[in-house]
Amino acid sequence: MSLDLFITGTDTAVGKTWVTLGIMAALQTSGASAIGMKPVASGCRSTGAGLRNEDAERLLHQSSVPTPYDLVNPFAFAPAIAPHIAAAEIGRDISLAKIASCYRALTGLADHCVVEGVGGWLVPLTATETVADLARHLGLPVILVVGIRLGCLNHALLSVAGIRHGGNRLLGWVANHTEPDMARSEENILTLETRIDAPLLATIPWLSEPSVADFAGRLTIIERIFSQQRR
């Protein structure tokens, strides 16, 4: 049985994909196999093989085993807009059952499957369901990526409240600096540490040219957490 994670964020463009890639790489460095999944993606480009999302392709490239794209990203939309709106425009429904079926297929291929959500915790996926419902449907513990920038305190605490309210397990959070010169960033992180009842797993500095290795080197704690769960 694989040990898996759901990665969400306080907003879009806070580094969810980098954290997902870093966790996968850290697990792989420890000797485990890992596979990535981005079930829903907007802003996809058209190719001869169909719509393709850059983040999903990066997860595919990082994965330990070759994987069909449609399992990694079963719902791909061209417009860079909220997925439920993109889906409605083409008359397609985002199905949590379909995502769960793809997820189950992936879990049989590697020791770990790391699932990256779209946008933030309460981004709508259908008329009645959100990213939160997807995480609950898959039954996965959650890691919250907090984009360290102005407004992060409110965004992070609201996200944590939403995760707790839904009964999801918050495994921890990652502080990712998304700007080079945010004033009082350390004080903001300390404030969140005192208010979030889950461990700060890593603090990622501002990186003008980030790499998977940069994130993996700061996320080695993930392997230790999984080692404890295996016992």
| Residues designated catalytic | 38
For the chain, the straight-line distance linking the first and the last C-alpha, in angstroms and rounded, comes to 13
| Residue 176 annotated as binding site | yes
CB atoms within 10 A of CB 122: 14
Q: Is residue 144 within a helix (H) or strand (E), and if so which, with residue range? A: strand 142-148
| Residue 107 annotated as binding site | no
| Residue 212 annotated as binding site | no
| Residue 159 annotated as binding site | no
Residue 129 · residue 159 · CB < 8 Å? no
| Residue 115 annotated as binding site | no
| Residue 206 annotated as binding site | yes
Residue 42 · residue 118 · CB < 8 Å? yes
| Residue 119 annotated as binding site | yes
| Residue 201 annotated as binding site | no
Q: Which residues contact 183 (CB under 8 A, 6 or more apart)?
A: none
Q: Which residues contact 75 (CB under 8 A, 6 or more apart)?
A: 39, 40, 41, 83, 87, 92, 94, 98, 99
Q: Which residues contact 189 (CB under 8 A, 6 or more apart)?
A: 148, 175, 200, 203
| Residue 21 annotated as binding site | no
* Sign of CA pseudo-dihedral 99, 104, 106, 112: positive
Question: d(Cα 5, Cα 20) in Å, to the nearest integer?
Answer: 9
**What tokens does 177 get?**
């600096």
| Residue 207 annotated as binding site | yes
Binding residues for Mg(2+): 17, 55, 116
Binding residues for substrate: 42
Binding residues for ATP: 55, 116-119, 176-177, 205-207
Binding residues: 17, 42, 55, 116-119, 176-177, 205-207
